[in-house]
Structure 1
Amino acid sequence: MNGKLSRSQRKAIEEGKLVETINALDLDTFAAQLCNTDTISKAENDLKEKTAIDLEVVLLSAYALKTECKDVLEACFSLIQESSANDYKTSEMKWSPASKRKEMVLPDMKYLVLRERASPEGPSSKEHTAGIGVYGFVSFMITYEDGYEVIYVYEIHLDRDLRGQGVGTLLMQMVENIGRRAQVEKCMLTVFKANQNASKWYKHCGYVVDEFSPGPRVFRNGTVKEPTYLILSKSLKDASNSPASEAA
């Protein structure tokens, strides 16, 4: 986290509250404490085997994207717009580029960005992302949700060239492992009902409809309106989801 802590944040840290303590860490300390470098190195090797592209996984803060890596921020926004803008437009959330950009740089947001490793032979082959070679990303935050300490996945998007190769699963596993190391209760996310492929994929990854996912709204005239999205979650406290799974 960058910037001055509020009085309430300082008090929460003094009381040893998990979320506030983690979000007060600088990025290097966050990485050292919560990111398993062996797991990331293995993931990078797996990515190279799956995609034949030399990709690196880069941990970035929202502050870095907003100040030093604006080109990466724009590349991530382009992936969101390409993948999800239509789903937003047909939902009660609606699509607002300005609102999405604001959400992307919330103070405690973190990113794992898939970027083509810099080569001395020349620039990245990904010309449509300004030559910076961004092939995908997942954004997440350690936060509170309905009274639980959770790691919440805000976005996960991949370039078309990488879809269907198990790359998204690797990204989700890395986020879940961060959550386990942080000792939060569960990993949560929002998915549009219209995106049936994503819903099936999350189910395959072990996610279920969370108890706090919104139900249908019944109006006075008897009309029932179903929500256009679901909140999914996966427990990170189960024995089957223990930190030992990092070595799998």
Structure 2
Amino acid sequence: MNSTATPLKLRRAIRSGEHTGNTSGMAAGFVQCNVVILPAENAGDFLRFCQLNPKPCPVIAVGDAGAAALPELGDIDIRTDVPRYRVFRQGKMTEEVTDITALWRDDLVSFALGCSFSFEEALLADGLEVRNVTQGLNVPMYQTDIDCAEAGPFSGKMVVSMRPFNASDAIRAIQICTGFPAVHGAPIHLGDPRLIGIEDLERPDYGDAVPINETEIPLFWACGVTPQVALTAARLPFAITHSPGCMLITDVRNSQLAVL
């Protein structure tokens, strides 16, 4: 898909099944969101989990029970407008699908959470290279040994995304991302990945590995795949998320989330 296409045009392509892959680099200027959909009886605890863990789980919007629309984010049908979904049953991911209309229930609540693809645009606009965008890859994501704060049945280790930079660019990247707290903000770690429980950067838990030059420093941002770890721990009978890298594209502009 053309990276300059409007959010509406991209959502229509996703809704029709024309695009079912990752959305990195698409919809320049507009917010993309991680998605979590779960029963209303669990929504309060999950919202509390997000509030206690705002770096990996920044809440952008919450839908009404049974509502497929998120009107504050655009003309959206959450059942069809994510390129690929993951279905969880009893805490285990059982399938990936491109449409959840047949799975929809009147008690389901949709959460849209901030995504690092938004701050990637700010980095690119400042002239910094974002390696996964340059390479046309999904960003590499890793499970760490950092504990999230618990809320009800939700707990687990934080997931991070990684982007490498040389030292001067790393400092600039931190400065830029600090101005976007609604989309994970500044990195939570830089340098030796073993200090946060990551043994091998060439083997991400999600996404694709990217080359790292000898003079570069890996920077790690809290990642919106973290709720998928929490869902596994919670063992809910039923829940749905986006597939990592396959985001909900909204009509909200990235500039609306900047605090600087």
Whether TM-score is above 0.5 comes out as: no
Taking structure 1 as the reference length, the TM-score comes to 0.28
**Larger helix proportion of the pair:** 1
Compare CA radii of gyration and give the structure with the larger one: 1
The structure showing larger relative contact order (alpha-carbon pairs under 8 Å, at least 6 residues apart) is 2
